[in-house]
Amino acid sequence: MSPQRLRVAVIGGGKIAQIMHIPYLLELDHLFEVVALVDPSPSLGHALLTRHRLPAWYASTTELYAAEPNLDAVLVLTPGEHHAAVSIDALGHGCHALVEKPMCLSPAEGREMVAAADAADRLLVVAYMKCHDPNVHLGARRLDELRVAQGAPQFIRAHCFLHDNVEVNRDVYDILQPDGDVPEALLAEGAEMLDRRLREAMGESSETARLAYKMLLRVASHDISLVRGLFGEPSGVEFARLFDDGWGVLAVLDFDGVPCTFEIQTRSQRMWMDESVTA
């Protein structure tokens, strides 16, 4: 017997929705029924409906839940400053939620989201896709074998140099953009929320520190997730330095006496990703 198809809605029609989530959901149409797209831009919403032959577009989640009371799950693909509020709202409406990275912008938001999932008895999943990569699983098994044969590693290195991929994405993918019709009030609300959550997480900080923090939440979160998945929680941070105006971070973490260098630079001149975890 084939599994029952899940009725899902995609909340946010930006780059990651267009490149990854919508195409994969439609490809796996034996598992998922995409019943709606939510995006505040009418031009982008209608363009995506036409491109992917989706059944419905709504400008807000309020409209979505009023029209689609029997959803199983939502994909939260909005800008990160909206992740917590949108996820908590979805859980409150009885939906499981898959939220893109970053899960949220502050520890307080994360605790609120976990509490909402527990209260609703629904799944809240963060889309760290590299945790499901077969090559990562192969590396983890090999690491376990080496631990048995040779003992714990003496040194860990997490390394990621990459370019600003906005231009590359535009060259490779036909990414649709809003036609200037996102409501100004929503943009202002997002900017205020971003500032408030960054202050909550960091206190008063420089623009360089804010940039580095947002970079760590976004592209570097995959590397952080991999290191934690392979080696557990670090016991401390021995050194940290920002460079390249916050586009780069160099840190030394301590894993119960084992040093780990964590280095990331996101404005490399090379047009490819140089990314690895070595132990």
Give the DSSP H/E element, type plus range, for residue 249: strand 248-255
Do 115 and 237 have their domain in common?
Answer: no
- Helix ranges (DSSP H) in the chain: 15-16, 22-27, 42-52, 61-67, 83-92, 107-120, 134-150, 166-172, 184-202, 207-217, 221-231
Do the domain assignments include residue 201? no
The pLDDT of residue 268: 79
The pLDDT of residue 274: 85
Query: Global pTM?
Result: 0.91
Do 118 and 239 have their domain in common?
Answer: no
Do 48 and 142 have their domain in common?
Answer: no
Q: Which among 32, 43, 36 has a CA at the least distance from the CA of 90?
A: 36
Do 82 and 142 have their domain in common?
Answer: no
Do the domain assignments include residue 179? no
Do 155 and 239 have their domain in common?
Answer: yes
Do 140 and 268 have their domain in common?
Answer: yes
Angstrom CA distances, 157 to 51, 153, 215, 223, 242, stand at 43, 11, 19, 11, 17
The pLDDT of residue 171: 76
Place of tokens 């699983």: 137
Do 77 and 27 have their domain in common?
Answer: yes
Mind listing the pLDDT tens digit for each residue in 40-90? 999 999 999 999 999 999 999 999 999 999 999 999 999 999 999 999 999
What is the token pair recorded at 225?
């997730």
Do 228 and 153 have their domain in common?
Answer: yes
Which domain-ending residue is among 105, 127, 149? 127
Do the domain assignments include residue 178? no
Do 113 and 154 have their domain in common?
Answer: no
Instruction: Tell me the three state secondary structure of residue 241.
Output: strand
Q: How many domains does the chain fold into?
A: 2
Residue ranges of the chain whose pLDDT lies below 50: 1
Domain that holds residue 99: 6-127
Which domain-ending residue is among 127, 153, 179? 127
The pLDDT of residue 272: 74
CATH number, domain with residue 249: 3.30.360.10
- Which DSSP state fits 132? G
Do 71 and 87 have their domain in common?
Answer: yes
The pLDDT of residue 91: 98
Do 151 and 63 have their domain in common?
Answer: no
The pLDDT of residue 1: 38
Do the domain assignments include residue 269? yes
CATH number, domain with residue 74: 3.40.50.720
Place of tokens 């990569």: 133
Do 147 and 258 have their domain in common?
Answer: yes
Burial class of residue 186 (count of CB atoms within 10 Å of its CB; 0-12, 13-18, 19+): middle
Q: Which among 63, 235, 231, 46 has a CA at the least distance from the CA of 157?
A: 231
